Amino acid sequence: MSKPVGSVDFALVCRLNGLKATHQRMEIYRELAESNEHPDAGTIYMRLRKKMPSLSFDTVYRTLRVFEEKGIVAPAGISKDAQRYDAKMYEHQHFVCVKCGLIRDVLCEAFCGLKAPDSISEIGETHSVRVEFRGVCEKCSEKRAKEKK
């Protein structure tokens, strides 16, 4: 059985990218990889702070930027205040709630491997195609239904 790319050995990933697999990097990556919320740096910092009191927000922020540069994690969603990240590097789709900004993974074969139309080359070179489903999540629609009553 082949391992999904999302669960590859982090130490190996670091080595391949010329990064030292430090304890802090490992914890930051794990926190991101184990979350399905596509958290931003602040959220990851808050979660790790308890078990790693020496960790600073700045380190988390910079580490995620380095991971992104190296292609170890991907930016997820466009948030007004903070960049959010995704450790799943295999092709998948996102459901995005336009009310609360929730991002959940969706894997739908029909939307994988899509090609950009030729006309796009006039605008720029396409590196990847991502499908995003936008709508209102369960929680937000429940809230809205309650408010109407």
Told to check if 28 binds Zn ion by CB under 5 A, we report: no
Could you say which residues in the range 69-108 bind Zn ion, by CB under 5 A?
86, 88, 97, 99-100, 102, 105
- Whole-angstrom Cα distance, residue 85 to residue 76? 5
Told to check if 131 binds Zn ion by CB under 5 A, we report: no
The residue within the footprint of Zn ion, chosen from 83, 89, 140, 143 (CB under 5 A), is: 140
CA distances 49 to 67, 76, 94, 109, Å, are 20, 23, 28, 38
Burial class (CB in 10 A: 0-12, 13-18, 19+), 126: exposed
Measured from the CB atom, the residue of 33 and 140 that comes closer to Zn ion is 140
Minimum CB distance to Zn ion, residue 57 (Å) = 23
Minimum CB distance to Zn ion, residue 141 (Å) = 8
Secondary structure (3-state) at 27: helix
Measured from the CB atom, the residue of 42 and 77 that comes closer to Zn ion is 77
Measured from the CB atom, the residue of 21 and 37 that comes closer to Zn ion is 37
Measured from the CB atom, the residue of 70 and 143 that comes closer to Zn ion is 143
Residue 119 half-sphere exposure, CB side, CA atoms within 13 Å? 0
Told to check if 31 binds Zn ion by CB under 5 A, we report: no
Measured from the CB atom, the residue of 62 and 99 that comes closer to Zn ion is 99
- Whole-angstrom Cα distance, residue 85 to residue 64? 8
For Zn ion (CB under 5 A), the number of binding residues is: 9
Burial class (CB in 10 A: 0-12, 13-18, 19+), 111: middle
CB atoms within 10 A of CB 73: 23
Judged by the rule CB under 5 A, the positions of this chain that interact with Zn ion are 86, 88, 97, 99-100, 102, 105, 137, 140
